[in-house]
Structure 1
Amino acid sequence: MVLEEKMITNGEPEDEEEEEEEEEEDLVDPLEMMRQKCEEAEHCMHTRERLEQCETRVGSRSATAEDCTEELFDFLHARDHCVAHKLFHSVK
């Protein structure tokens, strides 16, 4: 019974976990920030428009074998190419 009371009254581990969770929420991933900036670049906007056009075209049809895999890969390649040149300058 004494052990249970000590465990109940001793709230330190729970408090430490809550503090760690709050600190982790403040962290911002530089990769996500770079991806957002690169998606707004001219070349990425062009590939994104092609992807959106494909999605609209495929979504408007009830039965089609077409998918937008090629357009998606083109967009991701353009975005990641942009990110690769900028990301490592901001990582310490």
Structure 2
Amino acid sequence: MVFEEKRIMNGEPEDDPLESLRQKCEETEHCMHTRERLEMCETRVGSRSQTEEDCTEELFDFLHARDHCVSHKLFHSVK
């Protein structure tokens, strides 16, 4: 939040190539599959009143898939 405020105050463009690539990568088949697994886990954990299960593994799998996709595309769009 603070970073966003500083970025706007410094007059930097609002079009962030990293964020736009993340959104595009989230739409790929592999990322959609890992997001579905994460959402299923969150639903399962949220439906239980007492559980030791959390969705850390699924979250890391999703973030890894998304960032792997981004890493291959980011430097081609940065000058």
Regarding TM over 0.5, the answer is: yes
Aligned with residue 9 of structure 2, among 21, 32, 38: 21
Match of 1:12 in 2: none
Unpaired stretches in structure 1, ≥5 consecutive residues = 1-19
Structure 1 segments of 4 or more deviating over 3 A? 20-24
Using CA pairs below 8 Å that are at least 6 residues apart, which structure has the higher relative contact order? 2
Local SS of the residue matching 1:55: helix
Deviation at 1:27, TM superposition (A): 2.8
Q: What residue is the counterpart of 1:50 in the other structure?
A: 37
2:49 to 42, 62, 77: 62
Alignment gaps of 5+ in structure 2: 1-7
Determine what percentage of the aligned residue pairs are the same residue: 81
- For these two proteins, the number of residue pairs brought into alignment is 72
Report the Cα offset of residue 22 of structure 1. Answer: 8.2
* 1:61, distance to aligned residue in structure 2 (A): 0.1
> Greater helix share, 1 or 2?
1
**Per-residue deviation, 1:65:** 0.1
TM-score, L = length of structure 1: 0.73
Question: Distance in 2 between the 1:65 and 1:22 partners?
Answer: 44
| Distance in 2 separating the partners of 1:89 and 1:43 | 21
Larger Rg over CA atoms: 1
The CA distance in 2 between the partners of 1:22 and 1:78, in whole Å, is 32
